[in-house]
Amino acid sequence: IEPFLSSLRQVSKSGLHNPLKNPHRYVEYGEISRKAGAALSDPQVADFFAKAIMACVPKSYGQALGEVKVTAAFLNNFAGDNVRRLAQSFGVAGDHYGQMSVGHRWPYGPVALITPFNFPLEIPVLQLMGALFMGNKPVLKASEQVSIVMEQYLRLLHHCGMDPADVDFLNCRGPVAQEVIVQTPVRLTQFTGSSRVGEILAEATHGKVKLEDAGFDWKIIGPDVGDVDYVAWQCDQDAYASIGQKCSAQSIMFVHENWKASGLMDKVQANAAQRSMDDLTLGPTLTVTTKAFLDHCHRLTSIPGSQVLFGGKELANHKIPEKYGAVEPTAVYVPLEEMIKPEHFEACATEIFAPFQVVTYYNDETLDHVLNALERMSHHLTAAVVSNDPEFQTK
């Protein structure tokens, strides 16, 4: 790791550029962003990156290509002068003659990015480019399972005019990356991943870390029933797209009893049943084994009144290695009155990075129990309220 240590130690606190030093680099990165955005917008290049994503993480072609398109749109947004404008300063009148305050957007200098496996292009590119735009020198540690995607993207940036010395690409396991960070003057680490590793990094860096960690994400289906087919489709997408391996995946759904007669959950089940290994809308879970998944299902179904609504089984006729998971899209019903009990709540509010969700029903009289449950949950990332009733939306 010595070359990485040496490289980061040579970077000053003022970064590679700032409003007073090398400001031409803002314009250069606007042009690099324009070229990279145009490249990823090219159907042949987009197809290459989509297939590179699919080669190392289980995603359908549509999901993988969507990731490429979002990344291209981001790059296109910062073409031209938009990088320079991102560094806009501000001034405030002083409180005595001859004095005023001026603030500049300033780089940290040497920084580190640690990015996850589940979005091997979108997450690291957005974080990396933001760091580069503002004059930082990043060391990038992508998940070793999918690092080939970012290696190819960095080659694209070199082709688009980026100085190869602007980014250090570290292909390693987590403990090695931590050693690089603690042995160099890295002034900020951006980490996306599990809350366990995030806490380790927070301690190792003495708090000089920004975290996007676990997400236990809730959805409330309100009392006004409508657009049942669309709601069912969206619920399937939110819970089971990318095989549930995204921090924004729907983890728990509170459904008003008015929806029972609509057949909502039957429609969600029917949509989930269309998922297949053939198009990678089903596939391996990389961080949750089949045994761990089924053990969690068993733990929840041991709660009085609980049951598997659908799924809860290992995939049939698969060849996925045991160190990964191979499970059907699953929904487990847990009665609300049991869920909120202290002895059950932790299990019901545990994120499983797999195609899994908890479902429960409520009514107008038990809505307060739902709101209290939301207050008790931690690690929020996304949430949804499905209702056209403004009074319900604002409760």
Q: Active site residue: 67, 122, 235, 247, which one?
A: 247
Catalytic residue among 28, 144, 151, 212: 212
Q: How far is CA 261 from CA 74, 83, 233, 275, 309, in A?
A: 43, 53, 17, 25, 16
Side-chain-side CA neighbours of residue 323 (13 Å): 0
3 state SS of 305: coil
Fill in the DSSP letter of residue 243. Answer: G
CA distance 266 to 362: 18
Pull the structure tokens for residue 264.
Answer: 């909502």
Q: From its phi and psi, is residue 202 left (phi > 0), alpha (psi between -120 and 50) or beta? A: alpha
C-beta atoms surrounding 358 within 10 Å: 25
For this structure, is 247 an active site residue? yes
Q: Which residue spans within 29-155 are E strands per DSSP?
A: 90-93, 100-103, 110-114, 137-141
Active site residue 212: yes
Residue 321 Rama label (left phi>0; alpha psi -120 to 50; beta): beta
Report d(CA 342, CA 220) in Å as an integer. 21
- Residues catalogued as catalytic: 212, 247
